[in-house]
Chains A and B, each alone.
Chain A
Amino acid sequence: MADIKLTDVNKKYGGTVHVLKDINLEIKKGELIVFVGPSGCGKSTLLRMIAGLETITSGTLHIDNEQVNDVPPAQRGIAMVFQSYALYPHMTVRDNMSFALKLAKKSPQEINESIDRAAQILQLEPYLDRLPKALSGGQRQRVAIGRSIVRDPKVYLFDEPLSNLDAALRVATRIEIAQLKEQMPNSTMIYVTHDQVEAMTLADRIVVLTVGEGIGQVGSPLQLYERPENEFVAQFIGSPAMNLLPGRIIATGEQTTVRIAGGGVAVSDAPSKSSDENLQVNVGVRPEDFTETSGEDYIFEGEVDIVEALGEVTQLYFKAQKGSEPIIGKLTGIHSGLRGKTVRLTATTNKVQVFHQGKSLYYR
């Protein structure tokens, strides 16, 4: 229930290790923001800085227009759910949930009401008098969330809350969190994960963090998927990663035409200026956007090295050229007998990205 504003936030360890660089981010009330990024990008550190568990090296953090750089965690109006749940092992579920409220000197009646409400939302009523060790992983996770709910915080912080759960439970809990968010439309939530699916399904907006280069892109899940701002985001979102094909611009204007090194021609909806002609660029196409073609308008032509038939889709791995990443194509349906054959692939113009020095031409 609060706006969060980070301005030029930096985090350095020991003056030399620059983990987070110039983070500028505004989070609006009621949003569910997901931080994703490769390991070591500092997404958990950023979350802990918002929580107040790590100091901010430089820059400012505002919660509800109030600078909170030096405010201790308890007074920031936040609640955090840890990856390890961090339940107090010697207290019952009820005591775990009431701990913060007792410290805040709430009346017993108030405490009971909030616990009952949280237990009802999370279906924890039968377990209130158990110790954490007598609960399953999913139940512990719910207790950790319940402990946040009872405090009625301005901001919920989730630090990889599902990574200790098995696959089936992870899906179920993910849906529970999404439903929880719907029940509490006014609460702001920040969620850290390295799991793309969690990020894509839960987020209102995703913040992609790069290693040491600050924020890669902020946007809605589909924005990041369809119009990545740079090569890093393009390759980070989506699996398998987006193919990058080096080439040279041969025609400019509303659409950009690129001749791919060693083969075809790609046409993209990305606009370009006449001065861009002959510019060295990378053309980005997602494997699933490729379609097979027999005509001369192909983007890529290559010999199929490996075929992975998954039924729903068929993934083609082409022979890599000169030590670069192999190009991957993902064709819907079943295609047999392609191994060792030369296949031509193309894609519609609005699915083709053009990156110059790592930046997309759409964002110039």
Chain B
Amino acid sequence: MDGIAGKSSRLTWAVHISTVLLVALWLFPTVGLLVSSFRTADQISTSGWWASMFSSEQRVVIRSADPDDFRVEDNDAFVVSGNLFSEASGKEVMAWGTSSRDIEAYTPGDVVDLGEGESITVDTNGTYSWQGNEEQLSGRGKRIFATVLSPPDFTLENYERVLLSGDRTDGMTKAFFNTLTVTIPATIIPIVIAAFAAYALAWMQFPGRAILIASVVGLLVVPLQLALIPLLQFHNNIGIGKGYLGTWMAHTGFGLPLAVYLLRNYMVGLPRDIIENAKVDGATDFQIFTKIIVPLSFPAMASFAIFQFLWTWNDLLVARVFLIDATGETTVMTNQIVEILGTRGGNWEILATAAFVSIAVPLIVFFTMQRYLVRGLLAGSVK
């Protein structure tokens, strides 16, 4: 009984907590996936995505340049100097050492005497200078153990690899366009058919209308797995085999019961007077449909379009059965991700990028049209 004046609901906090939990539940994996897709394999293996926004401490072992090639003579002594890091990386040395027993022995800027005139110094920005006589500065470079603070670092390499490289195993571009080729007609065709059917079922008088509506409701509960094999056989028999046409037909068929049901319920709730007035005005059924019903049913049609788009986009089963043949030319993104998972199970950066490419479009669709989704869902029940 909330909403009554003078009484505030005691459950408000429960509502707030659940909202926060739901948002977090949805947001964490999505943001994680997005962040991971911009990180390198090394970063993913050393720290979680949530740490990627902050500078991270790393312990590294770096050898100085080879004295034989790089030493420079300077007043009887030889000097090898350079930088621990490849050019401007923004990394900072926090502490360093020359022995694996004590890797944080010195602070940056210390000049360390290694005995017999040999000395080494490392600065914060990674420049080092190693001095000594000819004998001391020979052979391989000096090992320097450094504790390094690296700033957040993101890379577009993964996306380059997945989207632009054209790589057959890792590439998603082809699969992306194949998915679009499946999804757009598979969304539009059922809406067009269902809108006509829904108008007829809602506003035209003909015998058997009630039975038709009942059978549409009945079809809602038929699982699509039931129809996979017979339908594929049918497609083969009529000669369309595996391909886009068959996939569009299958998606249309599986989407129609819900589409007809949703749209019919919405249209039947439109005011009768408006339709009768249009009849008095001289509109035919087709004109009433195109000029009055379709504009007024836009929210319901948009909400169904979102649904149908999302589940044809994410569909794997129908695509596998009706579309993807042995050549693999018509693979869709869901299928491509399954394959990447097989060939690159350990490469999280590729997997995360591929996954994010595949959810990006549904996210855009959802956020641009979510007001229709909510309105359309309510549309059938509340006027």
Contact = CB atoms under 8 A, between A and B. Distances in A.
A74 interface: yes
Interface stretch (A9-17, A77-85, A294-302): A77-85
Interface string B11-55: 000000000000000000000000000000000000000000000
B100 interface: no
A99 B276 CA distance: 14
A228 to B, nearest CB: 34
B75 to A, nearest CB: 90
Nearest to B287: A103
Interface string B267-306: 0000101101111111100010001100110000000000
Contacts of A51: 280
Interface string A49-63: 001110000000000
Contact of B282 (A53, A89, A104): A104
B186 to A, nearest CB: 28
A51 B273 CA distance: 13
Contacts of A147: 281
Nearest to A90: B295
Nearest to A148: B280
A192 to B, nearest CB: 14
Given A89-B296, A90-B295, A73 B274 contact: no
A85 B274 CA distance: 8
A322 B17 CA distance: 68
Nearest to B281: A100
Nearest to A95: B291
A103 B283 contact: yes
B296 A90 contact: yes
Contacts of B292: 88
Nearest to B274: A86
A103 B279 contact: no
Given A89-B296, A90-B295, A103-B287, A80 B271 contact: no
A72 interface: yes
A250 B287 CA distance: 69
B378 to A, nearest CB: 17
Contacts of B281: 74, 99-100, 103, 147, 151
Q: Is the interface of B mostly helix, strand, loop or mixed?
A: helix
Contacts of B274: 86-89
A86 B273 contact: yes
Interface residues of B, number: 16
Contacts of B282: 73-75, 100, 103-104
Nearest to B294: A90
A82 B279 contact: no
A107 to B, nearest CB: 16
B259 to A, nearest CB: 22
Question: Chain A contact residues (Cβ within 8 angstroms of B): what range?
Answer: 20 to 34
B271 A86 contact: yes
B280 A80 contact: yes
B279 A53 contact: yes
Interface string A80-121: 101111111110000000011001100000000000000000
A52 B274 CA distance: 15
Given A90-B295, A90-B296, A80 B277 contact: yes
A73 B281 CA distance: 8
A72 B287 CA distance: 15
A73 B280 contact: yes
Nearest to A73: B280
Contacts of A80: 276-277, 280
Contacts of B271: 84, 86
B296 A53 contact: no
A130 to B, nearest CB: 17
B277 A86 contact: yes
Given A74-B280, A99-B278, A100-B281, A82 B295 contact: no
Contacts of A83: 273
A74 B279 contact: yes
Contacts of B280: 51-53, 73-74, 78-80
A72 B278 CA distance: 12
B273 A82 contact: yes
Contacts of B276: 53, 73, 80, 82, 86
A89 B280 CA distance: 17
Nearest to A48: B276
A311 to B, nearest CB: 39
A354 B283 CA distance: 53
Contacts of A82: 273, 276-277
Nearest to B296: A90
Contacts of B287: 103
Q: Which of A72, A99, A151 has the most CB of B within 10 A?
A: A99
Contacts of A103: 281-283, 287
Interface in B184-208: none
Contacts of A89: 274, 296
Given A78-B280, A79-B280, A100-B281, A84 B295 contact: no
Interface centre among B276, B278, B281, B296 (most CB of A within 10 A): B281
Nearest to A87: B274
A73 B279 contact: yes
Interface of B: 271, 273-274, 276-283, 287, 291-292, 295-296
- List 5 tightest A-B contacts by C-beta distance, closest first: A74-B282, A86-B273, A100-B281, A86-B277, A82-B273
Given A74-B280, A74-B283, 10 more contacts: A53-B279, A73-B280, A79-B280, A80-B277, A80-B280, A86-B274, A90-B295, A90-B296, A100-B282, A151-B281
14 contacts: A53-B276, A73-B276, A73-B279, A74-B280, A75-B282, A78-B280, A80-B280, A82-B273, A84-B273, A85-B273, A88-B274, A89-B274, A100-B281, A103-B282
Interface of A: 51-53, 72-75, 78-80, 82-90, 99-100, 103-104, 147, 151
